[in-house]
A = this chain, B = another copy of it.
């Protein structure tokens, strides 16, 4: 790979024009530093194509000149997936100028857009056509759809609508040899050989650069009913989630656990009591939604809450009586990552277990931390309706964040992963592998899986041009 200092990027400037190449140190920072400020990346330059054709030219040129490429959307990865690695001389390909919604079909419920489209912009385009794009996550104001596809993003409505993979109908991808895989059809069904687009979803940019995306939409959800539930001591979360699915006929779009400790962090940051409390078993934010006024959502929610109280799982519940009250419930949930940061930061473990094992995991993982890292404050919350728990260890007051992170990742994290894996779970639910979890993949991946991963990478990107250092 090229030597940083002597890199001649003029062929890229010739291709992309002045605004298409960034090389000055100050402007590079926002492309080279990761979202969690854990890694200081390095790049000779950032390329900003305006079209799929320019991406193809970039790829051909990079292959010829020996530059590795790191595709980047909103640079919001939690695992350093879009950070160019020091010493590799990788160029960043920032998709930010390819940010147009190409079309919306409100009759067929599909949306096609450039990969650099900001998620919130795509949501707004869907909404303007009376539709819902259900992908929703904390970073939606800045993350871009190519990144969501590359990481198979999850978020707040997976329970009902699935992961990004479940929403993708079509993709356009520039392959490492510069050829274009174009499958932007809006078909729900299309069995014509291997479903090649699946390869690129969750591949973290290691097999090509996604330039276009077609997504499924749903009818706009014009009705909502939202409740904040206080769980009793030892309330079994899997049973509650299963009961909610049955009683609401799967109209629940959100089922988020919020631990008492996470709630405390939010209160600490605000410096005020919150209007809402956790029960001994924590709290759950439950939201139902529907596209039709024919669905009596309030009655369904009330009946469900009554059933949960009767079963002894919920001790009290608050129903949002206004949009203001609903927003306050959501704000508490959405503020947790910021509140963790405010309290000194956390080490984020992104655990998945079978949904029926959520309570078992929390009990056992809590005990493991108590034994191996006594006194560590926990903040756990998340999409437990899908078996996804953000199980975070708070940096103790006075401790260096990066030092503590390393210590946890070498030590107690593995004990927590062991609990998850013993329950049939995983060390990465939705964040992916990136550069921070690369070692975990080889440590916990079985040899057949790793051999297949390697064979695919070799088959599609034999030169190792694409996002080298991520995942593999």
Other-chain contact of A460, B180, B304, B452 (Cβ < 8 Å): B452
**Contacts A291-B249, A356-B105, A449-B181 given: A428-B192 contact, CB under 8 Å?**
yes
A274 at the interface (CB under 8 A from B): no
CA distance A40 to B295 in the complex (A): 54
Give the residue name and chain of the B residue nearest to A388 (CB): B189
**Contact string against B for A residues 103-137, beta-carbon threshold 8 Å, 1 for contact and 0 otherwise:** 00111111000000000000000000000000000
One digit per residue, 1 when the CB lies within 8 angstroms of any chain B CB and 0 when it does not, for chain A 373-417 equals 000000000010011100000000000000000000000000000
What's the Cα separation between A456 and B459 when bound, in Å?
Answer: 7
Question: How many residues belonging to A are interface residues under a CB distance threshold of 8 Å?
Answer: 96
| Bound form: Cα–Cα A188–B106 in Å | 28
A303 to chain B, nearest CB (A): 5
Whole-angstrom CA separation of A446 from B182 in the bound complex: 9
Q: Which residues of B contact A456 (CB under 8 A)?
A: 194, 196, 456, 459
**Residue picked from A179, A187, A455, most chain B C-beta under 10 Å:** A187
Is A249 in contact with B449, judged by CB distance below 8 angstroms?
no
Q: Which chain B residue has the least Cβ–Cβ distance from A106?
A: B242
> How far is A432 from B191 in the complex, measured between Cα atoms in Å?
5
Could you say which residues of chain B place their CB within 8 Å of the CB of A7? none
What's the Cα separation between A181 and B459 when bound, in Å?
A: 18
Given the interface contacts A355-B109, A455-B459, does A191 sit within 8 Å of B295 by beta carbon?
Answer: no
Q: Does A50 contact B (CB under 8 A)?
A: no
In the complex, A80 has a CB within 8 A of chain B:
no
Decide: A186 and B247 in contact? CB cutoff 8 A. Answer: no
How long is the Cα–Cα vector from A444 to B449 in the complex, in angstroms? 33
Residue of A192, A295, A471 with most partner-chain B CB within 10 A: A192
Check B193–A453 contact: CB distance below 8 A.
Answer: yes
Q: Which of B188, B290, B295 contacts A388 (CB under 8 A)?
A: B188
Stretch at the interface among A87-95, A336-344, A419-427: A419-427
Contact digits for A174-211, partner B, Cβ 8 Å, 1 yes 0 no:
01000111110111111111111011011100010000
> Which of B188, B219, B299, B354 is close to A186, meaning CB atoms less than 8 Å apart?
B354
Chain B residues whose CB sits within 8 angstroms of the CB of A449 once the complex forms: 181, 183, 193, 196
Query: Is A163's beta carbon under 8 Å from chain B?
Result: yes
> A455 near B445 (CB under 8 angstroms)?
no
Q: How far is the CB of A208 from chain B (nearest CB, A)?
A: 10
B219 adjacent to A426 (CB under 8 Å): no
Say how far A32's CB is from chain B's closest CB, in angstroms. Answer: 24
Whether A202 and B196, one on each chain, are in contact in the complex, defined by CB atoms closer than 8 angstroms, is no
Alpha-carbon gap, A144 to B191, bound state (A): 18
A448 within 8 A of B: yes
Pairwise interchain contact A354-B105, C-beta atoms closer than 8 A: yes
Q: What's the Cα separation between A245 and B132 when bound, in Å?
A: 12
Complex CA distance for A430 and B187, rounded to whole angstroms: 11
A406 to chain B, nearest CB (A): 22
Which residue from B109, B193, B294, B386 sits with its C-beta under 8 Å from A189? B386
| Max chain B Cβ within 10 angstroms of own Cβ: one of A166, A190, A453, A455 | A190
Indicate if the CB atoms of B249 and A151 lie closer than 8 Å: no
State A110–B344 Cα separation when bound (angstroms). Answer: 39
Most buried by B among A182, A249, A429: A249
Given contacts A291-B250, A459-B456, contact A428 B191 (CB under 8 A): yes
CB atoms of B107 and A448 under 8 A apart: no
Sample (9) of A-B pairs whose CB atoms are under 8 Å apart: A108-B242, A109-B242, A110-B354, A187-B354, A187-B429, A189-B430, A195-B201, A249-B251, A249-B292
Q: A194-B199, A194-B452 are in contact. List 9 more A-B contacts (CB 8 A).
A: A105-B356, A108-B387, A188-B388, A189-B383, A189-B386, A191-B432, A194-B203, A194-B456, A458-B459
